[in-house]
Amino acid sequence: MNFEFSQLSTSGAIAATLTLLAGLAIWSIFLSVPKAFNYPIYGVEDEKPTELMRKFQQHADILLTEAYKKFHGGIFQLYTPDGLRLFLPRKYAQELKGYDREQLSGMKALADVSIEKIEVTNPIHLGADEKQRHLGHYTTIDHESPYMLNAIKLDLNQKLGQFVSVVQTEVAHVINTTFPPCEDWTSVNLNDLLLRVISQASARIFVGPSLNRNEEWLKISEKFATDVMLGAEKLKAWRPIFRPIAQYLIPEIRRIQADHEEAYQLLRPILQAREKAEIDTSIDGKRHNDMLEWIKTRATKNNDSSVDFREQANIQLLTATAAIHTTRLATLHVLFDLAARPEYIDPLREELQEVLAETNGVLTKQTLTHLKKLDSFMKESQRHNPPSLATFQRKILTPVKLSNGLELPTGVIVQCNTSVLSEVPENWGDPYSFDGFRFYKLRGKPEDAHKYQFASISLESMEFGLGKDACPGRFFAMNQIKIILAHLIFNYDLALEKPEQGRPKNFMFEVNVLADPTAKLLLKRRA
């Protein structure tokens, strides 16, 4: 009797599942309302959409450049692994930058689903499907927290000066304990070493000294982003109606929940101890100065009980994902460019020595702002090796009409084609050459003293975005990179391992510009 009931239950469950999947398929078709964008699609005359999608994964830089030239800097569309996407010239970012996050969202463009079918006058187009970057519903990075944003925008940015010596201490600790001795020229892969430097220094500010050197915490904060990226790419290979099931078949997606649980278990005793210290007056309840505390304080002021220990863990994983890997890549790019152009090393070292002489060898917030040549080199490196070739990516949450008459409906994702080096003012000089002191020279006029800094944003420098939704953590990233570079320049000589091959070549992953993680540099500790 029980066996027969079990069989019936199983059959019923299977039937229900099949009915649900069929319903989802029909539902997705009816929700895919066609939207016509009468703008050309690059490449469809010569290649199939599936081929263009594959090409976009590794050669997006070529496609964007060719499309820019063919359509004379106008609006165009490209087939991407996320579907057909609309690319705007950077000038339209000026029109869109004033919208707030509730109207145009960068986070939702990265993580959310955009259910649409884009049709054009050309009859070749994709069928109705979901178009998304990282499938945020499954990877959990669609989780936005106003407390996280304000903790970075307000608390962290206002207290940057307090953390310079703290970050410097952590940077020196990791380099001294993990780098090889380098008594003579030594081949070193800096990719993983820099990841540890940045994750430990960042964790000191994010979760405090109780965890920032904890090996388990560092590993989970480093690998979570990898699970998100790989898991999303594997899940995108499945049709949308099957993804609710496929998520359980992909190891990286399954690990994401385990990552959240592990982060919670590591943070819970820290947060419990802090709560106990607040209640028990016999315990020295010294106020902590880290993101955990800032978020809790802001939530308490709003009487928001949803920010519990688990929510704190979720926020920390998202913060680490946003902060660690992008800073690591930017630092690696600078070091590759510096090793390929050794003529810059002595001037940068001299500037560092002059600035440190004014503060008895101690780095301060003011000291970092005086490293103008280093700042310029960093900005020029980022100009040639941006984190993305299509910045200002936004999901339209309220209908928008551009000055040319183009109507952008709710749900559409747009981005600006910022891959064109020549789109700069004439006074910048040759836009294609690498001039490490380009921005140092441009800052010569008093009115331009702050205009061309590494963290400054403008239509010509959109690496950190533009407008209200620009990267809030760019100032912290700038300080971290300067502190790391200052330590390495002061204490090491560096050179290319294979100078005859020039600077290590970058890799493209869709619009993302990645430094070669296998490339090595030669390091030698200075006497």
Q: List pLDDT tens digits, range 388-413.
A: 999 999 999 999 999 999 999 999 99
State how far the Cα of 80 lies from the Cα of 111, in Å rounded to an integer. 16
Count how many domains the chain has.
1
| Tens of pLDDT, residues 318-362 | 999 888 999 999 999 999 999 999 999 999 999 999 999 988 888
The token duo for 392 is 């200002």
Classify residue 285: in a domain, yes or no: yes
pLDDT at 284: 55
Classify residue 195: in a domain, yes or no: yes
Residue with tokens 């800097």: 73
pLDDT at 285: 53
Classify residue 322: in a domain, yes or no: yes
The enclosing domain of 261 has a CATH number of 1.10.630.10
State how far the Cα of 275 lies from the Cα of 287, in Å rounded to an integer. 11
Classify residue 95: in a domain, yes or no: yes
Mean pLDDT of the chain: 87
Q: Residue 105: which domain range?
A: 89-525
Classify residue 9: in a domain, yes or no: no
Range in 141-155, 196-210, 372-386 with the lowest mean pLDDT: 141-155
Does the pLDDT value for residue 283 go beyond 60? no
Does the pLDDT value for residue 134 go beyond 70? no
- Residue 182 annotated as binding site: no
Q: Contact at 8 Å (CB) between 96 and 72?
A: no
Does the pLDDT value for residue 11 go beyond 70? no
Q: Contact at 8 Å (CB) between 417 and 87?
A: yes
Classify residue 71: in a domain, yes or no: no
Does the pLDDT value for residue 377 go beyond 60? yes
Classify residue 16: in a domain, yes or no: no
Q: Work out the pLDDT band at 36, boundaries 50, 70, 90.
A: low
Rg of the chain over all Cα atoms, to the nearest angstrom = 25
Handedness of CA 275, 276, 281, 284 (dihedral sign): negative
Classify residue 80: in a domain, yes or no: no
pLDDT at 449: 83
